[in-house]
Structure 1
Amino acid sequence: MEKIKNDHLMRGMCWGLSIFFLAAAVGTALYGGDWEQVYKGFVRIIGSPSALITDYFKVGGLSATLFNAGLCTFVCCCIVRILKCRLSASFFASYILLLAHCFYGMNLLNIWPCFIGVALYYHHMKKNVRDHIYVAIFYMAFAPLISELLFRYPLGDKFVAGEIQITAAGIILAGVFGLMAGFVLPGMLEGASRMHKGYNLYNGGLAFGLVGGFIYAFLYKTMGITSEGPVELVNPLYDGTGDQYFVFWNVMFAVIFIGTFIWGYIFNGRQMKDYSKLLSESGHRTNYVEAYGMPLCMINFGLYGLMILLYMDAIFLLTDGVAFTGPTVGAMFAALTFAVIGQHPKNTWSIFGGYVFLYIIVAVVCALQGRPVPWTLSTQGYINGVAFATGLAPIAGRYGWKAGIAAGAISAALCTSTGAFHGGFMIFNGGFTAGITALIMVSVLEHHYPHMKVNI
Structure 2
Amino acid sequence: MDLSKNDKQIKGLCFCLGLVLLAAAVISAAIWGGAEGLLDGWLRILISPCPLMTDYFRVGGISGTFFNAAVCSLACLLIIVVSGAKATASLLASYFLVVAHCFYGMNFLNIWPCYIGVIIYYCYKKKDFRQYLHVAMFTMAFGPLVSEVLLRYPVGKGFVLGEVQITLTGVLLTVAVGLAAGMVLPGMLEGALWMHKGYNLYNGGLAFGLVGCFLYAFLYKSMGLESSGPVELNHRLYDGIGETTWLFANVLFLVIFLTALIAGYRMNGKSFKNYGELMKETGHFSNFADKYGMPLCLINLGFYGLMVLAYMNLIMLFTEGMAFTGPTIGAVFAAVTFSAIGQHPKNTWPIFLGYVALFLLVVFLCTVQGRELPWTLSTQGYINVVAFATGLAPIAGRYGWRSGVAAGIVSAAICTSTSAIHGGFMLFNGGFTAGITALIMVSVLEHHFPHMKVKGI
TM tier relative to shorter chain: over 0.9
Q: CA deviation at 1:450?
A: 0.6
| Cα displacement (A) at 1:190 | 0.7
- 8 Å CA contact 2:37, 2:237 repeated in 1: no
2:63 maps to 63
> For this pair of structures, how many residues does the alignment match?
456
2:229 corresponds in structure 1 to: 229
* 1:94 and 2:85 matched: no
1:243 & 1:310 partners in 2: Cα distance? Answer: 17
- SS in structure 2 of the partner of residue 67 of structure 1: helix
- The answer to whether the 8 Å contact 1:297/1:339 transfers is yes
- In structure 1, the residue matched to 2:266 is 266
Residue 169 in structure 1 maps to residue 173 in structure 2: no
| Deviation (angstroms), 1:28 | 1.6
- Which residue in 1 is equivalent to 2:438? 438
Aligned residue type for 1:325 = T
Query: Taking structure 1 as reference, are residues 76 and 439 closer, same or farther at Cα in structure 2, changes over 3 Å only?
Result: same
Q: SS of the counterpart of 2:430?
A: helix
What is the rounded CA distance, in whole Å, between the counterparts of 1:273 and 1:159 in structure 2? 58
Asked if 2 retains the 8 angstrom alpha-carbon contact of 1:44 and 1:163, the reply is: no
Runs of 4+ in 1 over 6 A off after TM superposition: none
For residue 242 of structure 1, report the CA deviation from its aligned partner: 2.4
Equivalent position amino acid for 2:102 in 1: C
**Secondary structure of 1:239's partner?**
coil
Shift of 1:202: 0.4
Helix, strand or coil at the partner of 2:239: helix
Partner of 2:298: 298
**RMSD (Å), alpha carbons:** 0.9
TM-score norm. by structure 1 comes to 0.99
Alignment partner of 1:343 is 2:368? no
Given that 1:65 and 1:102 are in contact with CA atoms closer than 8 Å, whether structure 2 keeps it comes out as yes
Q: 2-side partners of 1:234 and 1:303: how far apart?
A: 35
Q: Give 1:370-385 correspondences, 5 Å limit.
A: 370-385=370-385
What is the deviation of 1:243? 5.7
Q: CA deviation at 1:163?
A: 1.6
**Gaps in structure 2 of 5+ consecutive residues:** none
Rounded Cα–Cα distance in structure 2 between residues aligned with 1:134 and 1:234: 34
Question: Residue deviations 1:238-286, cap 9 Å, x none?
Answer: 2312266111111000000000110111101100010000000000001
Q: Which residue of 1 aligns with 2:47?
A: 47
Secondary structure of the residue that 1:383 maps to in structure 2? Answer: helix
Counterpart Cα distance in 2 of 1:242 and 1:388:
26
Shift of 1:233: 1.1
Amino acid across the alignment from 2:49: P
Aligned to 1:321: 321
1:239 has 2:239 as partner: yes
Where does 1:4-83 land on structure 2 (aligned, <5 Å)? 4-83=4-83
Please say if residues 354 and 407 of structure 1, whose CA atoms lie closer than 8 Å, have aligned partners that are also in contact: yes
Instruction: Provide Cα deviations, 1:84-126, integer angstroms capped at 9, x if missing partner.
Output: 0111010000000000000000000000000000000011001
Tell me how far apart the structure 2 counterparts of residues 454 and 179 of structure 1 sit (CA, whole Å): 34
CA shift, 1:32, in A, is: 2.8
Alpha-carbon distance in structure 2 between the residues aligned to 1:60 and 1:156 = 23
Is the 2:32–2:237 Cα contact (8 Å) retained in structure 1?
Answer: no
Residue 283 of structure 1 corresponds to which residue in structure 2? 283
How far, CA to CA, are the matches of 1:182 and 1:38 in structure 2? Answer: 32
Contact 2:33–2:237 at 8 Å: present in 1 too? no
Structure 1 residues 160-169 or 409-418, which shifts more?
160-169
Which range moved further: 318-327 or 18-27? 18-27
Query: Does residue 145 of structure 2 align to residue 136 of structure 1?
Result: no
* Distance (Å, rounded) in 2 between the aligned partners of 1:234 and 1:33: 15
Post-superposition CA distance 1:316-357 (Å, at most 9, x none): 011000010000000111011100000000000000000000
2:278 partner amino acid: L
Separation in 2 of the partners of 1:163 and 1:324?
28
SS at match of 2:416: coil
For residues 29-49 of structure 1, give each alpha carbon's deviation from its aligned partner in whole angstroms, at most 9, with x where no partner exists: 122352211111000001111
Q: Which residue of 2 aligns with 1:311?
A: 311
- SS at the partner of 1:104? coil
Contact 2:142 2:427 in 1 (8 A): yes
Question: Contact 1:6/1:295 (CA < 8 Å) preserved in 2?
Answer: no
Mapped contact 1:243–1:325 kept (Cα < 8 A)? no
Structure 1: 5+ residue runs without aligned partners?
Answer: none
Instruction: Return the offset for 1:179.
Output: 0.6
C-alpha displacement at 1:365, in angstroms? 0.3
- Distance in 2 between residues matched to 1:193 and 1:407, nearest whole Å: 18
Partner of 2:160: 160
* Number of the residue aligned with 1:123: 123
Match of 1:84 in 2: 84
CA distance in 2, matches of 1:70, 1:278: 31
Task: Write the mapping of 1:423-434 to structure 2, written as runs, cut at 5 A.
Answer: 423-434=423-434
What residue number does 2:394 align with?
A: 394
**Alignment partner, residue 217 of structure 1:** 217
SS at match of 1:366: helix
What amino acid is the match of 1:108?
F
